[in-house]
Amino acid sequence: MRKAVFPGTFDPLTIGHVAIVRRGLHIFDEVVVAIGINSSKTPMFRLDQRIEWVKKVFAEEPRVSVDCYDGLTIEFCKKLNATAVLRGTRNVADFDYEKSIAQINRSMQPEIETVFLVCDPAHSAINSTWVRDIIKNGGNASQFLPPEIVF
């Protein structure tokens, strides 16, 4: 079975994230949305809320699960017997950043591949930081969020 881990903070989960997971299901038998606990970041939304959002958005898709982890993503992949890390890239800067991580991960666990999916053009400007900023300032971010996430 080909299992991919899609890591991130998902603070919040956006329509761009959802699109990458759905496209990943064309390649992998299972995708685990892995919410990383990063001590250098202070999330806006509680971990339990982010887990619940993923469960709600993918409630009708049994091949998508959600988990959380701390530490190295590649070690979490190994623990889950995942064959790949799934990553979405919006632009060259994303790719350069992700490429460096992928190369280090490959040196640590060469049997686990990193698969990059280029985002849909309609999602290229969406990132969680900007969506959080819209929400913090009382704006309407609904066009960037799955319909299951309502504020």
| 26-69 pLDDT tens trace | 999 999 999 999 878 899 999 999 999 999 999 999 999 999 99
Which pLDDT value is given to residue 141?
A: 96
Residue recorded with tokens 């956006």: 14
Six token digits for residue 64:
């998508």
C-beta separation of 86 from 94 below 8 A = no
pLDDT tens digits along 123-136: 999 999 999 999 99
pTM of the model: 0.95
User: How far lies 49's CA from each of 45, 66, 71, 150, in Å?
Assistant: 6, 12, 21, 12
pLDDT, average across residues 99-118: 97
The helix or strand, by DSSP H or E, that contains position 135, with its residue range, turns out to be helix 128-136
Going from N- to C-terminal start, the domains of the chain cover 3-144
Which of 124, 106, 127, 126 is closest to 115 using CA atoms?
106
pLDDT, average across residues 18-29: 98
Superfamily of domain 3-144 in the CATH hierarchy:
HUPs (3.40.50.620)
* Average pLDDT of the chain, as a whole number: 96
User: How does DSSP classify residue 80?
Assistant: T
Which pLDDT value is given to residue 151?
A: 79
Which pLDDT value is given to residue 9?
A: 95
User: How far lies 113's CA from each of 15, 53, 108, in Å?
Assistant: 24, 27, 11
Whether the pLDDT of residue 71 is over 80: the answer is yes
Which pLDDT value is given to residue 92?
A: 94
Whether the pLDDT of residue 150 is over 90: the answer is no
Which pLDDT value is given to residue 39?
A: 76
C-beta separation of 90 from 124 below 8 A = yes
- Contacts with 128 (C-beta within 8 Å, 6 or more apart), sequence order: 9, 10, 11, 12, 14
> Annotated active-site positions, please?
17, 41, 90, 128
pLDDT, average across residues 63-90: 97
